[in-house]
Chains A and B, each alone.
Chain A
Amino acid sequence: MYGWIFRSLPGPRWLRIILSLLLALGCVAVLMLFVFPWVSQFNPLTDSTIGSP
């Protein structure tokens, strides 16, 4: 899968390495900014209130 992505990227080898690093960074950013904050609300381990306010 990753091999296929790498081969589908345009340009010479050095450009493809840079592009794939950018792709990976973009995925991490989307996860940290949008996905993880959303998932976090379902994490029962961070519940510190008492009763049902």
Chain B
Amino acid sequence: MARSVVDAGPRLPEGGERPGRRRRTPFQLVAQVLGELLITAGVILLLFVGWELWWTNIDSGIRQEQALEEFFSEAPSIVEVPAPPAQGESPTTPEDFGAPAVLPQVDLTGTFAAVYIPRFGEDYSRPVTSGVGSDVLDNLGLGHYPRTGAPGAVGNFALAGHRQTHGQVLDQIHTLVPGDRIYVQTREGYYTYVFRNTEIVLPERADVLAPVPTDPGAEPVDRILTLTSCNPRFGAQERIIAYSALESWRPSDAGPPSEIAEQVARAAGQG
């Protein structure tokens, strides 16, 4: 009887447990689970940062390419420029095609334009889609503020785009230099804007979208392109605004300006 107790003695604490595992007090168990949960939370937060800064750009890049493809499938085919700017003549004198043809306001739906900004890179071509909700800006790059002007029209053609994440289409907006060209293509033609200046304002300053920027009551005379994005980079306390004015335009059947002919062909999948 005494023997059996002695025999059973050492075996009892091991019953049901694997060899080599310590029995933990409830406090140790809670501390361990809590620690594991906290480490998990940290890893998930890091994953979210990675997703936001890296993955959203890839995702948005794919969707923008699809939107551009759709735009070019509906736009008139790209006309080859018949002759490069003749030597001897000043190539800076734009040909005059009269007053720009402007898309009617009802046609400013879906992806209705493409933007080329050589300052942002040789192959910078981005679709412009109607609307500035997150459905447009997070997926399709540049969004057109509803009820602002059409490309080439007298008034203000106003666009918004992310500075960081989701394609970061306006990441380099602060590198624009006065005189830089910004080209907008619609099915009507090509509009060449010249960058004038940037301005940094608070997020409530909706008057930068007025037909005459920052002067809502005034009668518009100029043809303005306004780009808005967040400022500073990786922050959203302010907005950076870039103003450009129309310099010239070419109808679709005259072909793209020679400066962006390559980019247009490449974006259209013909180059």
Binding site for B on A (CB under 8 A): 1-2, 28, 31-32, 36, 39-41, 43-53
Contacts and interface: CB of A to CB of B under 8 A. Distances in A.
A39 B52 CA distance: 10
Contacts of A39: 48
A46 B47 CA distance: 17
B230 A47 contact: yes
B37 A36 contact: no
B234 interface: yes
Grouping DSSP codes into helix (H, G, I), strand (E, B) and loop, the B interface class, with mixed when no group exceeds half, is mixed
B81 interface: no
Interface string B28-43: 0000110011000000
A16 to B, nearest CB: 15
Which 10 pairs across A and B sit closest by C-beta, in order of nearness?
A51-B206, A48-B230, A36-B51, A1-B36, A49-B132, A49-B160, A1-B33, A48-B229, A47-B236, A53-B132
Contacts of B48: 31, 36, 39
A2 to B, nearest CB: 6
Given A47-B203, A48-B228, A1 B239 contact: no
Interface residues of B, number: 42
Given A1-B33, A43-B52, 19 more contacts: A1-B32, A31-B48, A31-B51, A40-B52, A40-B138, A45-B235, A45-B236, A46-B138, A46-B164, A46-B165, A46-B236, A48-B228, A48-B236, A50-B203, A50-B204, A50-B206, A51-B204, A51-B205, A51-B206
Interface of B: 32-33, 36-37, 44, 47-48, 51-52, 55-56, 132-134, 137-138, 143, 145-146, 160-166, 170, 201, 203-206, 208-209, 228-230, 234-236, 239, 241
B163 A48 contact: yes
Contacts of B52: 36, 40, 43, 46
B166 A46 contact: yes
A48 B206 contact: no
A50 B208 contact: yes
Nearest to A40: B52
A50 to B, nearest CB: 5
A8 to B, nearest CB: 13
19 contacts: A28-B47, A31-B47, A40-B52, A43-B52, A45-B235, A45-B236, A46-B162, A46-B165, A47-B203, A47-B236, A48-B163, A48-B230, A48-B239, A49-B143, A50-B204, A50-B205, A50-B209, A51-B209, A52-B206
Contacts of A48: 137, 160-163, 170, 228-230, 236, 239
A14 B112 CA distance: 55
A32 B51 CA distance: 7
